[in-house]
Structure 1
Amino acid sequence: MKPGQRARRTASRAQNSRALTVVARIGFAASGLMHLLMGYIAIRIALHHGGESDQSGAFAQLIKLPGGMVVIWVTVAGLAAVGLWLLLQAGLGIGSSSKKRWARSLVSLGKGTSYLALTFTALSIALRHPTSSTTSTRHATGTLLSLPGGQALLICLGIITAGIGGYFIYKGARQKFREDITLPTGPSQRGITVLAMTGYIAKGIAILTLGVLFVVAAVKVDPQDASGLDGALKSLAALPFGEAILIMVGIGLIAYGLYSFARARLATL
């Protein structure tokens, strides 16, 4: 057997292991809880109650719940497992046809990297070293802009981020999420479909806004304009009818969270 085939078979066995599958499903549930909290905080911001509506803000709220420390450590393990599972898919094209393998691998790579970034954020909260995504994003943006060609790089990052947001909107509108889960029959199928469509579109709008802010920061050469997901959502509130828009996005994030709970049980792993 060739080394590449052996590696693929080993990775496939790892991906299909019961332990990794169980922990990955916990990760989807943890992501669901995080999005519920993000949606709740986004609605609070729209109603002028304050708070940070990014992932770090959600984890900070999570740790305040009864048993929050236990939940946050379970979240760390679950998100890390999902990230590993997606990176295995990306590296070896598992579960994809040869024609679509490169595209599926690219998507899995991006999603896997995102889940590992969330793992780091949750871990920092668990270790009592909370980091604000707004602060860290501004710092990273300032560093990027100080590099040769940094302005062009930040514009590219903004375009890529906006593209990811557009992909989420497309995935929700065209119901491409059906490839990720095994939908049940009966009335529950429609309910899960509505939650997924609403959730993906709302999350896409938030990420798309974040990408636009990156481009604005690059054009103005001002890292303060690149303020992370929390800043992106707050910028929506500053638009005409922005509070209503942010409330709808918050409801959408809650819908995505509920869909993530369903995905934890129905995901195709």
Structure 2
Amino acid sequence: MTRRVLIALLLVVLALGCALAQQTATLAVLPSKESVDAGELITVEISVDSQRDVYAAQYELVFDPAVFEVLSQSSGEFLKSDGQSTQVVANSYNNTEGHATYGETRVGTSTGVAGRGVLATMALKVRDDAKSGEYEISFVEDNTILADPTPAPIPSITLVSATITVNGIPQVESTPTSTRRESSSIGVAPQAPQPNPSAPQPNPSPTETPMATPEGTETSVESQDVQTPPPAPVGLPKLPQTSLEVPAPSVLLVMLALLASFLMARRR
């Protein structure tokens, strides 16, 4: 009989142990919006879901300080859901390093609360110069605790982070514009482009002119060099050119004969 009682008690203890092992707790980051724009304000709730009584809670969150800025943290209704008082023991945030810490405990009672509720609420602002992308707000596991009324830490807490999509300000790409430089028209007349003397000039092709010739007759046209007399010296008068004609030899003989006859007639 005693042996059966011991076995029954052992089974009850094992059942209670299994039941307690299945009583887990969850802490989750729940943003009011999962897609936000640059400069927008959002609310983030730290939610608790526990099957075991919770007497105190503490968490530390990390975030990208180039994207988010914590404006405030305030207590939720979870730990005082039964009307008992609570005391905030930690409430700080650092927007330069990107982390926030919060802690709260029940006072004036030895019991805890179970179920689901909001432990704390954070007010966040997306920075105006935030870049587009997906950013995470997550727990620091070593500094996140749920404690029962013993008090002892509740084991196997499930931590759920949040991923927020940020639509940053679109980057406007500068398009290079060509500036037309106009010359001043004051006192300056437009000039035609001057030819480059060093550039090679094309030689015109000679044009052949056909000449009509009788059939069977070959005519060759040879180019002749035309010599141009040098110009007369400046300042000297140009003398007229005269031509002296010499009589033919027969005429000279007749003239000599007449002269000889004239001389002989005078001697007589």
Q: Check whether TM > 0.5.
A: no
TM-score between both structures, scaled by the size of structure 2: 0.21
**Which structure carries more relative contact order (alpha carbon 8 Å, separation 6+)?**
1
Structure with greater helix percent: 1
TM-score between both structures, scaled by the size of structure 1: 0.21
Larger radius of gyration: 2
